[in-house]
Amino acid sequence: MLACDRSAGGGVAEGMRYAVLGGGQRIRPALALRVARMLEAERPMTMRAAAAVELLHCASLVVDDLPCMDDAATRRGRAACHRVFGEATALLASFSLVALAARSVLPADTGSWASRRLVDFARRLLGMLDCGSLVAGQALDLELAGESRRREWTRISELKTAPLFTLAVRAGMIFANESEASAKSLERFGRAFGLAFQMADDWADGEAASEEALVERLDAARRALGGWGDRAQPLHGLLDYLYGRATQADCRYR
């Protein structure tokens, strides 16, 4: 997917590769693939949809790190994209990653059921960038600081972090024939898992959080899976992984 023409674009292609291939846990695509396998709905295009979620996530990180945003010098243990390629190239790389994410899942035709599902997913993906989702979360994050930001943690995370996790769930459901009620329960799981993931990250960074608060978030995610029984074991495994990573304990939290 990242096989861009490196001779064109003034380093934009290299910036894209740098932003995407520089480490990270790939937790969002992992979530998408586990949902697809749980629903026995994995298809060749499922991998591309999962990758598209990661491309959008990486694009958002490039923008987050810019001097006009969070002004971060590093990302994933190395220099932020704009520190290596410059602000202009980093911004263009983020635009290109969003375009690549959408283009990678859009079908050549829209006549079949599967094609229509892919178009719907692409619409959801691009909807992440409207003024009510990731963009709103970043704007609120910039507006608030200190104690105000801590008080608004849930609101910021619901806008800035959770949507990409619910999008990952939808990526795994593209070719599933589940009811809308089932889809909503998995979306609730994705949202709760996303909030738990953000809390674990904040805890690792030494920001205000506690093991008790993290467990509460993880429990909310488990409750969302209540109607899925043993089929949801792969998703319960992700919750155990997150708890173990956050607490440096190789064990289940329940």
Q: What is the CATH number of the domain that holds 121?
A: 1.10.600.10
In a domain, 183, yes or no: no
Task: Give the domain range for residue 40.
Answer: 12-177
In a domain, 211, yes or no: no
**Rounded Cα gap, residues 234 and 205, in angstroms:** 27
In a domain, 153, yes or no: yes
Q: Looking at residue 245, what is its pLDDT? A: 85
What are the pLDDT tens digits along the chain (254 aa)? 666 656 656 699 999 999 999 888 899 999 999 999 999 999 999 999 999 999 999 999 999 999 999 999 999 999 999 999 999 999 999 999 999 999 999 998 888 999 999 999 999 999 999 888 899 999 999 998 777 878 898 899 999 999 999 999 999 999 999 888 899 999 999 999 999 999 988 776 666 567 888 899 999 999 999 999 999 999 999 999 999 888 875 444 44
In a domain, 107, yes or no: yes
In a domain, 184, yes or no: no
140: tokens are: 């609120």
Question: Model-level pTM?
Answer: 0.92
In a domain, 47, yes or no: yes
In a domain, 112, yes or no: yes
Q: Please tell me the total number of residues recorded for the chain in this structure.
A: 254
In a domain, 239, yes or no: no
**Rounded Cα gap, residues 38 and 47, in angstroms:** 15
State the total domains in the chain: 1
158: closest CA among 187, 179, 182? 187
